[in-house]
Structure 1
Amino acid sequence: MRDIHRRRFLRVSASAAATGLLTAGAWQSELRCEEPSNRRTTTKEPTVKATIAGVKTFAVEYPITGYFKFFQDRSEKPIGRQCVVVKITDEAGNVGWGQSVPSHTWSYETLESVKTTIDRYLGPALVGQDAFDRETIQAILGRNIAPLFSTGQPLCKAGIDLALFDLTGRILNQSAAERWSRESRKSITLSWTINPQTLDELPGLVEQAYERGFRNFNLKVGSDADFDVKVCREIRKLARDAFVWADANGGYDLETALAVAPKFADLGIKAFEQPLPANRLSWFAKLKKQAALPILMDEPIVTAVDLEEFHRLGLLDGVAMKVARCGGLVEARKVMQYIEDNGLLFFASGLTDPDLSLAASLLLFGAYNLQRPAALNAPQFLTQTLLKEPIKIEADQAIVPTGPGLGVAVDEKKLRGLQF
């Protein structure tokens, strides 16, 4: 009962805060509109057991087309999208597949750290455990790779989480929407990532997006404020009706962020994602108080506890959701529930998630009725798949999988072809 009263208090407090903010700028009324819920009557999963017999990992690399700043080696030469595929088998021979998507230029996790952590620590610890016992499995993952400020190695653990979700969903023969008792959207609108090195590139990049059927854009900013404002201005000339938001990946200091936010707002930018370094909490409070744009957090939001604390401190207006950053679907759903219960802005992005990780993102964003374009840019940058049937991308619409588990099937011959 105490938790129920607390949730009601948070909802009422958030609603009152939103009402008070309406005078700060026009964006609040535009973006804080109530979104329809996808909830259905809750049903309990049947009691089933699946004893884990083995956990195996595969290092793979997807070829990349175009330039994206996060996929470069130490000499700044382009590299492919490297990740770790996870295969979990139970004693009955059932199989579940997952995917960890580390990026050493985005966080401290690398392909090598992910693979060795699963092979040496997490995988062996899971053998003999019941795949349906989420509480015990979460405790084992936390005990073997301990947290510091938040979850330890969440990108690594996401691969295991997804494989377990896939395994148990296939055993139950249930889709994600059925397991979560929610109605899912049939498709998610995607945005096109713009991260130009020169202004001269912009017309070609926008034209490329239009040729592929994309109409909305997420901009990578944070290195050069003057250049970033010029990019925003040119994008508005080239795509007047597009939904556009800016992601600085923590690249600005407070003075710069305070200076560029009103300029971005004047150019019709819809939100300011991760404008400041993740640990500069007092800076976030000052930038949010300026109220020039909605402030979204990304990198710091690993767990629902993180979000609750940052929300209480008045540091954000919403979250750019990433399944992988949260350590998988179990924690990502808790974060989504907090967003939904407290009326926070729900934006979505990824880490150029291929195949299995992309499927998980689509399942979550579809079940929680994402209203805005998602920065899931694997269809933009990746050229191959390890799935038997690739996830359908129709212009800028990514079709949400509907099959059991993650709703997609791995082709092991294609998997071997991408291994390195």
Structure 2
Amino acid sequence: MIIKDITVKHQTVPLLVPFKTALRTATEIDSISVEIQLENGIKGKGAASPTYVITGDSLEGIQAALQGPIKLALVGEDIRQFQKLLKKIQSCCIHNSSAKAAADIALHDAYTKLLKIPLYAFLGDKQPISTCMTISVDTPEKMAEDAQKSAADGFNILKVKVGSIPELDLERIKHIRSLIPDRVKLRLDANQGWTPKQAVQLINEMEALNFGIELVEQPVAAHDWEGLKFVTERVNVPIMADESLFSAKDALKLVSGRYVDLLNIKLMKCGGINEARKIASIAEANGVACMIGSMMEPSLSVGAAAHLAAAHPNITYFDLDAPLWLSTDLDVLKYSGQEVFLSDLPGIGEITVPISK
């Protein structure tokens, strides 16, 4: 079954409210969609979004990689040589992890549509998924209000963005904790915003105050692996790598060297589903659990991540709320509070009812 053509489109999607982290503020996303067309009419869809401050990929770069070397590598090939084509996506150009992820997702979608099975069935299983809700950086009072609303909407885990002003972070968490029920756990994401010593001091202080911190994500700079290890060895709260983790090689070093306790896998960082599976399995072999997360992305790419999350036994943490921030998007996932539901149609599938806001 020959790949006949690949087309690429761009769309700007406004966010319902601004999304703020220690690294950036976003009011909209650029969604780059790619469609792989087979000779029998099947169309596989994938998507990517540029996040300069993490992947370094630009809108123009993603489009150029998809329309250039990736298209050249795939058009005219037989999709039934599936593993060969996955390797060609990764080897046809260096870097460009977001473009590779979009192509990888589209290839998986087309192939599982050809097989007439949902993507999760091809990947292995369908465990239930409950996502956290992200609380973006703001004043302590505004963050506490947002957290209170999310808890009332049925979210039992909140991912709180911190790190922009370390001196304020303790006050932010104090305000949040004062307005949410004890059942609600907190995950902190500093997005590289602390020094190792700041991280140890803040985390230990929050633990002493019984703030219910489940984990802390990327407390220090992405390149500072020794800083990650410094923090991991000096706190009881589990430490998770995010921006420090891009590839399977990164995963092997992080887990074998015990730099962190947990890994956050994102398709845009690693280059797609196939590479993400490698990371999850490497971590599993070393007794380290994984989260599946995303950037601020369209529901198509988040939906692909959700299928992987449902299928892999070592992915036990889920951060898949990005579509809930979008003002309009293709409904690939259905949400009911914190519960995430996948389509049972072949491929990634589509949900025909609106996403719950």
- TM-score by structure 1 length? 0.77
In structure 2, distance between residues paired with 1:71 and 1:95: 38
When residues 119 and 183 of structure 1 are mapped into structure 2, their CA distance, relative to the original with a 3 A threshold, is closer
- Identity, % of aligned pairs? 24
Task: Tell me the amino acid that sits aligned with residue 52 of structure 2.
Answer: H
* 2:146 is equivalent to residue 205 of structure 1: yes
When residues 63 and 113 of structure 1 are mapped into structure 2, their CA distance, relative to the original with a 3 A threshold, is same
Structure 1: 5+ residue stretches without partners: 1-49, 147-151, 411-420
When residues 57 and 72 of structure 1 are mapped into structure 2, their CA distance, relative to the original with a 3 A threshold, is farther
Report the equivalent of 1:51. Answer: 2
Match for residue 324 of structure 1 among 268, 282, 288: 268
CA-to-aligned-CA distance 1:348-389 (integer Å, 9 cap, x gap): 3211332211211111111125786622222431121234xx
In structure 2, distance between residues paired with 1:227 and 1:107: 27
Count residues in correspondence: 349
Task: Tell me the amino acid that sits aligned with residue 250 of structure 1.
Answer: Q
Q: Which moved more, 1:301-310 or 1:271-280?
A: 301-310
Report the equivalent of 1:168. Answer: 111
Contact 1:70 1:105 in 2 (8 A): no
Report the equivalent of 2:355. Answer: none
CA-to-aligned-CA distance 1:296-337 (integer Å, 9 cap, x gap): 111232222221112222201111222332211111111112
Task: Tell me the amino acid that sits aligned with residue 74 of structure 2.
Answer: L
Q: In structure 1, the residue corresponding to 2:27 is in which secondary structure?
A: coil
In structure 1, distance between residues paired with 2:282 and 2:265: 12
- 1:78-117 aligned within 5 A: 79-117=27-65
- 1:20-419 aligned within 5 A: 50-69=1-20, 79-146=27-94, 152-180=95-123, 182-185=124-127, 187-239=128-180, 240-266=182-208, 267-369=211-313, 374-387=318-331, 390-408=332-350
Aligned-pair Cα RMSD in Å? 2.3
Structure 2: 5+ residue stretches without partners: 353-357
CA-to-aligned-CA distance 1:216-236 (integer Å, 9 cap, x gap): 200111222221111112222
In structure 1, distance between residues paired with 2:290 and 2:205: 23
Q: Which moved more, 1:159-168 or 1:200-209?
A: 200-209
More strand by share: 2
The alpha-carbon deviation at position 189 of structure 1 amounts to 1.1
CA-to-aligned-CA distance 1:188-218 (integer Å, 9 cap, x gap): 2121211232122134212331343323200
The alpha-carbon deviation at position 140 of structure 1 amounts to 2.6
Q: In structure 2, the residue corresponding to 1:163 is in which secondary structure?
A: helix
CA-to-aligned-CA distance 1:96-145 (integer Å, 9 cap, x gap): 00011222243311222101111122112221122232443244333331
When residues 143 and 183 of structure 1 are mapped into structure 2, their CA distance, relative to the original with a 3 A threshold, is closer
In structure 2, distance between residues paired with 1:71 and 1:229: 15
Bigger Rg, structure 1 or 2? 1
In structure 2, distance between residues paired with 1:87 and 1:72: 31
In structure 1, distance between residues paired with 2:246 and 2:80: 23
When residues 356 and 130 of structure 1 are mapped into structure 2, their CA distance, relative to the original with a 3 A threshold, is same
Task: Tell me the amino acid that sits aligned with residue 391 of structure 1.
Answer: L
When residues 72 and 234 of structure 1 are mapped into structure 2, their CA distance, relative to the original with a 3 A threshold, is closer
In structure 1, distance between residues paired with 2:57 and 2:40: 33
Q: In structure 2, the residue corresponding to 1:58 is in which secondary structure?
A: strand
In structure 2, distance between residues paired with 1:370 and 1:336: 6
Q: In structure 2, the residue corresponding to 1:80 is in which secondary structure?
A: strand
In structure 2, distance between residues paired with 1:371 and 1:409: 23
Task: Tell me the amino acid that sits aligned with residue 384 of structure 1.
Answer: T
In structure 2, distance between residues paired with 1:202 and 1:285: 29
Q: In structure 2, the residue corresponding to 1:81 is in which secondary structure?
A: strand
